[in-house]
Copies of this chain bind each other. A is one copy, B any other.
Amino acid sequence: MKYGFSKRVRYLKSSAVRDILKVVNKGDVISFAGGLPDENLFPVDAIRRAFDQALTSDRKNLQYGETEGVMELRERLASRMATKGIHRSPDDILVTSGSQQAIDLFSRIMFNRGDVILTENPTYLAALQVFESYEANIIAVDSDDDGMLEEDLEDKIVRLKPKCIYVVPTYSNPGGKVWSLERRKKLLELADKYHVVIFEDDPYGEIQFDENESPPSIASMDNNRLVLYTSTFSKTVVPAMRIGWIVGPHQIIRLMAQAKQASDLHTNSISQHALIHLLKDFDFDGHITTLRKTYLERMNMMKSLLDSVEGNQIKYQIPKGGMFLWVNMPEHVNTTELLSTAVDRGVAFVPGAPFYVSNPQQNTMRLNFTNAEPEKIKLGMERLVTVINESQYEFIT
């Protein structure tokens, strides 16, 4: 039988990254492709205890729950965010099935077909997919290493009247960069001047390598109810739990909760209760310190091996946190073509092109340094450096 689908399905694409991951997970390919934390660092014993506590407490916790999320979890999230300068009531928080769902629900209540959303370029691929699925018009703003460029941002706000500006300002995916304090303030100032909502996506903020180096979140500087801020426990606890949250202006959060009710009633509350116990009884901040230290070591190892590439042709910025190293190869290199050679040699990365809204740079790649243990990073990077060196000879000969 032939089925008739909605027009929406034209915009639904399987993620290029996930398709590559499917291939890569076979055999002994060392993958720097995914955006995965290291499962060997998962605090499994603490998680087990937390679930056991969640399941021995009140049976009512296992009933249908509130769409907004378990109140005690929202209270703990509010306290935790307050220590980072975001002062909001638990009523302004919605617990979501990962921060991906926060992006989806926000888009659902915000975008009509053709509405403009401004983004960085490149930016988080799966957010682009969501915006596209709601037929939003995604426009890239020119940026440098410090964030969006003021002039282009203001010009595009004035000309295109965007409904929202989507940013990943802290250890971005894929770029691994951090917006400067000035650029954050400037973004907020312009958004305020022209009444545009900012969506600040912060999945990596906790993975910071130098405590003194990262500017405050944009949400923490927001006095005018402009900023939606979302984060997740996928990188600091485990992805399988699918717990994220979003905080922002009450009117927006309330509509997102109504959309969530239609979408899946509420987020898994066994996991929500387990998380409450974990935040209460487990040294969560100590765990984060371990993650930071371990991932910093791995980043440094990856970086120093990358430096062994011959010539001076590759460029990268040293990440101050997060999970990714973003590499610019010589202009003639097409990393999508390079990938199949690399996979043959037993190493994988993600080509950078799919992360671009416009003007894809074919010579870029994203390397994840968190998932593989040091010896694997060493072996994988040796393979990758060989592939890169050879690609340069090919050009020279």
Contacts and interface: CB of A to CB of B under 8 A. Distances in A.
Interface of A: 1-9, 12-15, 18, 34, 36-37, 39-40, 42, 44, 47-48, 51-52, 55-56, 59-65, 67, 96-98, 100-101, 104, 108-112, 115, 126, 129-130, 133-134, 163, 195, 197, 224-226, 234, 238-242, 249, 251-252, 255, 258-259, 261-271
A47 B268 CA distance: 14
Given A240-B62, A271-B271, A255 B52 contact: no
23 contacts: A5-B109, A8-B108, A9-B109, A9-B255, A9-B259, A14-B261, A15-B261, A39-B59, A44-B56, A47-B62, A51-B52, A52-B52, A62-B239, A63-B238, A64-B234, A97-B268, A104-B263, A104-B264, A129-B261, A133-B259, A241-B270, A242-B267, A268-B271
Number of chain copies forming the complex: 2
A42 B64 contact: no
A274 to B, nearest CB: 8
Given A44-B55, A61-B240, A242-B265, 20 more contacts: A1-B224, A1-B249, A6-B109, A6-B110, A8-B109, A9-B258, A12-B255, A12-B258, A15-B261, A34-B64, A39-B59, A39-B60, A39-B63, A48-B55, A62-B238, A62-B239, A62-B241, A104-B264, A133-B259, A264-B264
A63 B3 contact: no
Contacts of A108: 6, 8
Contacts of A269: 240, 242
